[in-house]
Amino acid sequence: MTGRADLTLAGAVAGIAFANPPDGYMDEAMEAGLLAAVEAIESDPAVRVCVLSGAVPGVFVRHYDIRPLAARAAAMAARGLTFDQARPVREGPIHRALRRMEAGRVVYVAALDGAAMGGGFEIALACDIRIAAEGAGPFGLPEVNLGLLPGAGGTQRLTRLVGASRALRLMLSGDTVDAGGLAAMGLADLAPPGGARAAALALAARIAARPGRALAHIKALAARAFDPDRGAALDAERTLFCDLMVTPEARALMDQAAAGRRRITDDPDREGSP
């Protein structure tokens, strides 16, 4: 079977479902499908949130299919290719897709109802929010067990999310964890068994009800939390705060709050809101 990343659009909430039965491996077709789906989502102004999930029972994306990787490795070795950091390898579709997800305005939620290792886990790490079903797994970056390393941003994203010590513990040992382990590291929220997608869709609907400009600004600022120039990031925060203050949505909501008809904890789409 050829891998797929099937896109569904339903107003403000989009979905990407990964399918490659029976095992749920990633391949070049799934890479290309993910990139095309992300580009379509980011180009659609109606979309505010996207839920990523697996279409194969018990699998998000198991990991990259080793068979084409082994064939590619043999072909490169036969050509006598060598690699040097002074000549970086070009990005492939998976790298461009994950970078676009991080840099884009849409909020990405990974619904982890099953296994996600290697490249599959790297997709989840590139999402803004992860929800894992209790008992689901395994999850991790066990490439070292094949003499490899995570090649789609895993060394960087996992380290930023959980810190160097925990990230290195997982990557150097090749160990995997279950959903409880993800939650213990702060990497995912727990959902009932088999219910990660339902929980992700419910959360996506709530997030999508918020003003889209505010969502995009918050996501962009959070990405700058590790900016070495903290002053510049704080400058951006003040500026974007004021940018939102003058939007029609914010002005109407603040006017209602000032008049006592709304609390700051009320959903923007409740009755009486604009």
Sequence-ordered list of residues with C-beta below 8 angstroms from that of 216, at least 6 positions apart, any chain: 105
**Integer Cα distance of 92 and 99 in angstroms:** 11
The 3-class SS string of 155-210 reads HHHHHHHHCHHHHHHHHHHCCCECHHHHHHCCCCEEECCCCHHHHHHHHHHHHHCC
Among 58, 52, 161, smallest CA distance to 111 is for 52
Catalytic: 143? yes
**Integer Cα distance of 147 and 143 in angstroms:** 7
- Selecting among 42, 143, 237, 249, the annotated active-site residue is 143
Burial (CB < 10 A; 0-12, 13-18, 19+), residue 166, is middle
Catalytic: 28? no
CB 91, CB 32: distance < 8 Å: no
Token pair for 134: 């209790």
Token pair for 34: 């993910």
- Selecting among 42, 122, 237, 249, the annotated active-site residue is 122
Residues annotated as catalytic (active site), given as ranges: 122, 143
